[in-house]
């Protein structure tokens, strides 16, 4: 009888222990807001989600030993609705640009809470990524031609800040010398096609996407403003303090996503294209080697300054609720710990300003490419890898051979000799020097100046190819 009683007691104790443990096994939500079509956010959202990278880094020991994770993904086309969801407590982490991020922090503070900036995802210390485009048949060739014109822009976006700075640089009054209207990119595209607006300023990837789609030309790149811009990851401060290991896990997944696309940019450009509808050729403009922007997760001084510029510009727009200490808003402790756990040197990367490197041989000459001022690339349909060339001359010579052999060309890229950014070759301008050497430029004015200074001539894409036999 005593043994039976003891056995029953042990069974009951075991059951109670199981019930007690189950009751205390925490179910932790990780709700992440992405901007899939804002493709430079890919390493902080789309790629982590599609490659299922986050679970491999989530903590499973200590207080997380019995934790169950509920990973939730929500996609947005801009930062404002993403912020609304974060402030409402329906999202814990999000990705957006410098301007929307400042608005995010303001919105959090209005509810007595705070958000923090975790890391940069992708950006440009010179401002490239934002741009201004005009209808394809417009007679506008530079920002100077836009006085008195109607320009649309997604309001309070990072491209809005670029537009205001570009206008100020001309000495214009933004309320008198131009007409600025609010338009999202999905509205601006049709407006450009039908010539209902004179120009449109936008963020990644629309200043490249619209020209690629054949109904617009880029006449101003953010690199001309030389004002840094970036997209990054944010989190609810309360969530980060409660679950710092989860934030670090998310950033470890971001680091891996960055390493993967750096290693195989064509493969992951195709994946991003499949999920967003943004053509892989446009995605590669950003994520390929020597791309429009660099994927840099460290808090360079220029990106901190970009955040302060966003604060200052929003105040200029009359926002008296923007009271942010940028050094408190940016919290780099989590990305530093993520770097450390990944075996990476944060301090070393902080000093690295190089573009995503190109390590390749000239596809025609088979000589290693050692100078990148005139690099040209060709993506042949059916080929997994983009072909690289040291110069337009070797690229155009091979382009003629490829076409003669019946190959279809997806896209040709050049590097802008002045701005150091990747260009769609069919929309670039080309200038020769006195020796016939060809250089590519986004702006016709830059090509004209180069030709004048170096004793050459200016050509469009079709005529530049004819220079090479």
Query: Which residues does residue 199 pair with via DSSP β-bridges, in sequence order?
Result: 151
Q: Check whether 365 has a pLDDT greater than 50.
A: yes
pLDDT at 315: 81
Instruction: Compute the average pLDDT of residues 71-89.
Output: 95
DSSP class per residue in 21-62: HHHTS-EEEEEEEE-TTSGGGGGGTHHHHHTT-GGGGS--SG
Q: What is the pLDDT of residues 332-354, one digit of tens each?
A: 999 999 999 999 999 999 999 99
Instruction: Compute the average pLDDT of residues 60-68.
Output: 95
Structural domains of the chain, ranges and CATH numbers in brackets:
27-125+229-351 (3.40.190.10), 131-225 (3.40.190.10), 376-467 (no CATH)
Residue of higher predicted confidence among 456 and 355: 456
Give the residue carrying structure tokens 């990747």: 422
Sheet with 376-380: list strands edge to edge: 387-389, 376-380, 409-415, 422-424
Instruction: Compute the average pLDDT of residues 104-125.
Output: 96
Q: Check whether 139 has a pLDDT greater than 80.
A: yes
CA angle, 384 as apex, 382 and 390 as ends, to 5°? 105
| Sequence-distant (≥ 6) Cβ neighbours of residue 446 within 8 angstroms | 416, 417, 418, 419, 429
Q: What is the pLDDT of residues 84-108, one digit of tens each?
A: 999 999 999 999 999 999 999 999 9
pLDDT at 111: 95
| Per-residue tokens: 115 | 């958000």
Distance CA 334, CA 245 (A): 9
pLDDT at 21: 42
Average pLDDT, the chain: 92
First to last CA, the chain: 103
Q: What is the pLDDT of residues 284-328, one digit of tens each?
A: 999 999 999 999 999 999 999 999 988 988 887 777 788 899 999
Instruction: Compute the average pLDDT of residues 135-162.
Output: 92
DSSP class per residue in 248-270: HHHHHHHHHHHHHHHH-HHHHHH
Instruction: Choose the weakest-confidence range: 202-206, 281-285, 361-365.
Output: 202-206
Q: Is 12 exposed, middle or buried (0-12, 13-18, 19+ CB in 10 A)?
A: exposed
Q: Check whether 42 has a pLDDT greater than 90.
A: yes
CB-side exposure of 279: number of CA atoms within 13 Å? 15
Q: In the structure, what pLDDT confidence band is assigned to residue 38 with cuts at 50, 70 and 90?
A: very high
Q: What is the pLDDT of residues 241-262, one digit of tens each?
A: 999 999 999 999 999 999 999 9
Q: Would you say 421 and 221 are in contact if contact means Cβ atoms under 8 Å apart?
A: yes
Question: What residue ranges in 43-168 does DSSP mark as E strands?
Answer: 68-75, 93-97, 115-124, 131-135, 150-153
pTM: 0.91
Instruction: Compute the average pLDDT of residues 375-383.
Output: 98
Q: In the structure, what pLDDT confidence band is assigned to residue 4 with cuts at 50, 70 and 90?
A: low
Distance CA 220, CA 130 (A): 9
Distance CA 241, CA 44 (A): 20
Q: Is 95 exposed, middle or buried (0-12, 13-18, 19+ CB in 10 A)?
A: buried
Q: What percent of the chain has pLDDT over 90?
A: 84
pLDDT at 73: 98
Distance CA 376, CA 447 (A): 17
Q: Check whether 197 has a pLDDT greater than 70.
A: yes
Residue of higher predicted confidence among 288 and 226: 288
Q: In the structure, what pLDDT confidence band is assigned to residue 5 with cuts at 50, 70 and 90?
A: low
């Amino acid at each position: 009888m005593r043994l039976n009683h003891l056995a029953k007691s042990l069974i009951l104790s075991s059951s109670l222990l199981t019930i007690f443990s189950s009751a205390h096994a925490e179910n932790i939500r990780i709700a992440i807001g992405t901007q899939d079509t804002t493709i430079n956010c890919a390493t902080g959202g789309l790629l982590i989600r599609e490659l299922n990278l986050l679970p491999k880094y989530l903590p499973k020991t200590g207080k997380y030993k019995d934790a169950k994770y509920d990973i939730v993904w929500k996609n947005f086309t801009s930062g404002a609705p993403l912020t609304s969801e974060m402030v409402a407590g329906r999202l814990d982490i999000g990705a957006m640009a410098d301007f929307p991020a400042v608005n995010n922090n303001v919105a959090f503070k209005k509810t007595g809470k705070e958000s923090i900036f975790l890391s940069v995802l992708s950006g440009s210390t010179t401002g490239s990524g934002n741009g201004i485009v005009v209808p394809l048949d417009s007679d506008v060739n530079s920002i100077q031609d836009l006085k008195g014109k109607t320009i649309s822009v997604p309001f309070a976006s990072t491209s809005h800040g670029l537009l205001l700075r570009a206008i100020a640089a001309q000495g214009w009054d933004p309320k008198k010398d131009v007409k600025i209207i609010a338009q999202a990119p999905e509205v601006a595209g049709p407006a450009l096609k039908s010539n209902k607006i004179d120009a449109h300023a936008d963020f990644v990837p629309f200043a490249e996407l619209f020209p690629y789609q054949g109904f617009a030309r880029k006449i101003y790149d953010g690199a001309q403003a030389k004002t840094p811009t970036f997209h990054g990851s944010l989190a609810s401060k309360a969530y980060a303090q409660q679950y710092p290991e989860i934030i670090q896990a998310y950033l470890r997944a971001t680091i891996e996503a960055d390493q993967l696309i750096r290693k195989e940019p064509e493969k992951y450009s195709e994946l991003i294209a499949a999920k967003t509808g943004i053509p892989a050729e446009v995605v590669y403009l950003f994520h390929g080697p020597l791309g429009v922007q660099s994927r840099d997760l460290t808090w360079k001084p220029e990106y901190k300054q970009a955040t302060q510029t966003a604060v200052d510009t929003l105040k200029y727009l009359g926002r008296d609720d923007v009271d942010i200490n940028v050094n408190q808003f940016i919290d780099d402790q989590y990305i530093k710990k993520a770097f450390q756990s990944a075996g990476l040197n944060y301090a070393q990367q902080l000093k690295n300003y190089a573009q995503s490197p190109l390590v390749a041989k000239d596809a025609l000459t088979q000589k290693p490419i050692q100078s990148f001022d005139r690099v040209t690339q060709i993506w042949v349909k059916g080929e997994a890898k983009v072909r690289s060339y040291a110069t337009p001359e070797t690229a155009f010579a091979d382009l003629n051979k490829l076409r003669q052999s019946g190959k279809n060309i997806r896209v040709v890229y050049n590097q802008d000799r002045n701005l150091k950014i990747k260009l769609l070759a069919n929309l670039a301008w080309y200038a020769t020097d006195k020796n016939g050497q060809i250089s590519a430029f986004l702006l016709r004015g830059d090509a004209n100046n180069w030709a004048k200074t170096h004793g050459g001539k200016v050509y469009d894409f079709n005529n530049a190819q004819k220079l090479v036999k």
